């Protein structure tokens, strides 16, 4: 049976390589091989060579292989979950690394099963036309460190299903989880179909400027998304950009604080807040503000924070020391500007690991950096409002629009409010839940292009019309 140790040994560099730290202790847990532009040329050539045969296998056979890959992931799920917890920090339990490993296999299976039939778009006396989708060719994928294995799967599974071959670059902070996942999946896939190239941002920059890629998929910061758009312009690859967000949640006066507290909490604090579509600023009607804040503090008090590999942990450390500093600064600025820390704050800066307690800040000014910038960590600002039009203006005021949520006892009323919010997804009485059949993507500075479902398959393909 595969163990954490055997999986780690299979992907650790034989010598040299980039050290990868455990965010709970600061210890080096392994070394990732470091790839450069020569390796990129080799991977591109192998992927180009493998692509026509892979495409000619057809949807049925490729789907069968994706299902077989999912079986392999299931057999190694526990080892993979331990590696994710050690490298990225999220706990094994709750919405943590076992959930992530399970999501990988669920997404592989759902992607294999998603129907995508050619569409008859014209059928009258003037003629007939059918819209179908073909493989784009070579897909380049660049990923982040927060959900390394799951987001890699969101990128490579649909690309492979559609007959593309894939070259991926994981984040320098979490290369081992992605290498391990690829090692498992590649026991099933033909050679050259999926290649992972661990390296830094410079390797990512070389990839996105490379003319061989027909399609680029990127998940990460808005800043890097803009750089990728500029760097790839000369080659015109198709782009899917899943960038940062600053999702608002609006609690209407008829919501039940006790009933929604736990879902609100996980909407904001899943993966210790390091999730693109996490709830990042909470607007609560003034009549419920204190009750919601108190109920959330009650949930926070029940969630133990500790190393991801500790079975008791429900919250883990931040993945990087840099992210710890960002959250620390934002909370300090919010407190200095009059925000009240009703729970959390005060991290132990001398202790090992990047642990920042789950923090709730009530009453920060509307323009506090904790409100208007993406914290990507466990600190939630809670802001009272009295006027619905005004709170919707606040919700729409930022140049990002990934997700949002509305919380109410009246779902129809919540839907009316939702229709006025500028975001790719608006959840009602939940936040951030994604599903392999439901398209997901942002607007404004949160990027463009859809992932998941049939729309996700189309976005890693090229459309083709046959007209008679």
Nearest alpha-carbon partner for 182 in 163, 200, 195: 195
Position 204 contacts ligand NDP (CB under 6 A): yes
Provide Rg for the chain, Cα atoms. 22
Q: Which is nearer to ligand NDP, 137 or 432 (CB)?
A: 432
Q: Which is nearer to ligand NDP, 172 or 451 (CB)?
A: 172
Helix, coil or strand: residue 254: coil
Nearest alpha-carbon partner for 254 in 144, 409, 404: 409
Helix, coil or strand: residue 24: coil
Position 142 contacts ligand NDP (CB under 6 A): yes
Contacts with 121 (C-beta within 8 Å, 6 or more apart), sequence order: 129, 130, 131, 465
The region of 90-98, 116-124, 196-204, 360-368 touching ligand NDP under the rule CB under 6 A is 196-204
Helix, coil or strand: residue 216: strand
Least separation in angstroms between CB 272 and ligand NDP: 13
Positions in 326-355 near ligand NDP (CB under 6 A): none
353, 307 contact by CB (below 8 A): yes
Residue from 103, 144, 308, 381 touching ligand NDP (CB under 6 A): that is: 144
Structural element, H or E, at residue 330: helix 321-336
Among 172, 242, 374, 451, the one annotated catalytic: 242
Residue from 138, 139, 188, 208 touching ligand NDP (CB under 6 A): that is: 208
Residue from 54, 99, 107, 145 touching ligand NDP (CB under 6 A): that is: 145
Residue from 205, 337, 341, 366 touching ligand NDP (CB under 6 A): that is: 205
Helix, coil or strand: residue 166: strand
Position 220 contacts ligand NDP (CB under 6 A): yes
Q: Which is nearer to ligand NDP, 173 or 285 (CB)?
A: 173
Beta 443-444 vs 400-401: how paired, if at all? antiparallel
Position 89 contacts ligand NDP (CB under 6 A): no
Q: Which is nearer to ligand NDP, 257 or 378 (CB)?
A: 378
Structural element, H or E, at residue 104: helix 97-113
163, 55 contact by CB (below 8 A): yes
Q: Which residue is nearest to ligand NDP (CB)?
A: 204
Position 232 contacts ligand NDP (CB under 6 A): no
Least separation in angstroms between CB 129 and ligand NDP: 37
Helix, coil or strand: residue 11: helix
Position 276 contacts ligand NDP (CB under 6 A): yes
**Measured CA angle at 269 (ends 264, 270), to 5 deg:** 100
Q: Which is nearer to ligand NDP, 339 or 424 (CB)?
A: 424
Maximum alpha-carbon separation in the chain: 77
Position 201 contacts ligand NDP (CB under 6 A): yes
Position 243 contacts ligand NDP (CB under 6 A): yes
Least separation in angstroms between CB 464 and ligand NDP: 29
Position 376 contacts ligand NDP (CB under 6 A): yes
Query: How far is 339 from 365, CA to CA, in rounded Å?
Result: 7
Nearest alpha-carbon partner for 355 in 306, 389, 294, 401: 306
Q: Where are the alpha helices (DSSP H) in 12-76?
A: 37-56, 58-75
Position 384 contacts ligand NDP (CB under 6 A): no
Position 379 contacts ligand NDP (CB under 6 A): no
Reply yes or no on whether 242 is catalytic: yes
Burial (CB count within 10 angstroms: exposed 0-12, middle 13-18, buried 19+), residue 366: middle
Positions in 244-273 near ligand NDP (CB under 6 A): 244
Number of residues that bind ligand NDP (CB under 6 A): 26
Q: Which is nearer to ligand NDP, 354 or 408 (CB)?
A: 354
Mutual orientation of helices 58-75 and 148-161 as an angle, nearest 10°?
Answer: 160
Position 172 contacts ligand NDP (CB under 6 A): yes
Catalytic sites, residue numbers: 242
Residues near ligand NDP (CB under 6 A): 142-146, 169, 171-172, 200-201, 204-205, 208, 219-221, 224, 227-228, 242-244, 276, 323, 374, 376
């Amino acid at each position: 049976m595969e163990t954490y140790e055997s999986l780690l040994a299979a992907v650790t560099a034989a010598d040299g390589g980039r050290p990868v730290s455990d965010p709970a202790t600061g210890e080096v847990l392994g070394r990732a091989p470091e790839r450069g532009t020569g390796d990129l040329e080799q991977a591109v050539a192998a992927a180009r060579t493998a692509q026509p045969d892979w495409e000619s296998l057809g949807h049925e056979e490729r789907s069968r292989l994706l299902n077989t890959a999912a079986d392999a992931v299931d057999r190694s799920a526990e080892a993979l979950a331990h590696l994710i917890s050690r490298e990225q920090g999220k706990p094994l339990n709750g919405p943590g690394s076992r959930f992530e490993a399970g999501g990988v296999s669920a997404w592989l299976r759902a992607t294999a099963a998603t129907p995508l039939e050619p569409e008859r778009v014209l059928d009258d006396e003037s003629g007939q036309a059918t819209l179908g989708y073909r493989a784009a060719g070579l897909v380049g994928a660049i990923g982040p460190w927060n959900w390394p294995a799951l987001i890699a799967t969101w990128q490579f599974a649909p690309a492979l299903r559609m007959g593309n071959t894939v070259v991926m670059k994981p984040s320098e902070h979490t290369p081992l989880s992605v290498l391990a996942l690829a090692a498992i999946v590649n026991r099933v896939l033909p050679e050259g179909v999926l290649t992972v190239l661990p390296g830094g941002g410079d390797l990512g920059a070389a990839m996105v400027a490379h003319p061989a890629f027909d399609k680029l998929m990127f998940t990460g910061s808005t800043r890097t998304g803009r750089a990728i758009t500029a760097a790839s312009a000369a080659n015109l690859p198709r782009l899917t950009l899943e960038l940062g967000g600053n999702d608002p949640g609006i609690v209407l006066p008829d919501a039940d604080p006790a009933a929604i507290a736990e879902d609100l909490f996980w909407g904001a604090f899943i993966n210790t807040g390091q999730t693109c579509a996490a709830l990042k600023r909470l607007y609560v009607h003034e009549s419920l503000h204190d009750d919601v804040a108190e109920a959330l503090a009650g949930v926070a008090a029940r969630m133990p924070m500790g190393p991801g590999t500790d079975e008791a942990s429900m919250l883990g450390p931040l993945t990087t020391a840099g992210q710890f500093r960002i959250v620390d600064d934002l909370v300090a600025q919010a407190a200095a500007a009059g925000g009240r820390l009703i729970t959390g704050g005060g991290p132990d800066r001398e202790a090992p690991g990047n642990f920042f307690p789950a923090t709730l800040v009530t009453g920060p000014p509307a323009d506090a950096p904790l409100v208007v910038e993406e914290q990507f960590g466990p600190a939630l600002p809670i802001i009272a409002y009295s006027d619905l039009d005004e709170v919707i203006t606040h919700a729409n005021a930022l140049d990002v629009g990934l997700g949002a949520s509305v919380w109410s006892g009246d779902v129809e009323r919540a839907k009316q409010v939702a229709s006025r919010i500028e975001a790719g997804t608006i959840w009602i009485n939940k936040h951030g839940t994604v599903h392999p059949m439901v398209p997901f993507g942002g607007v404004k500075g949160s990027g463009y292009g859809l992932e998941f479902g049939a729309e996700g398959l189309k976005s890693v393909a090229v459309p083709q019309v046959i007209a008679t």
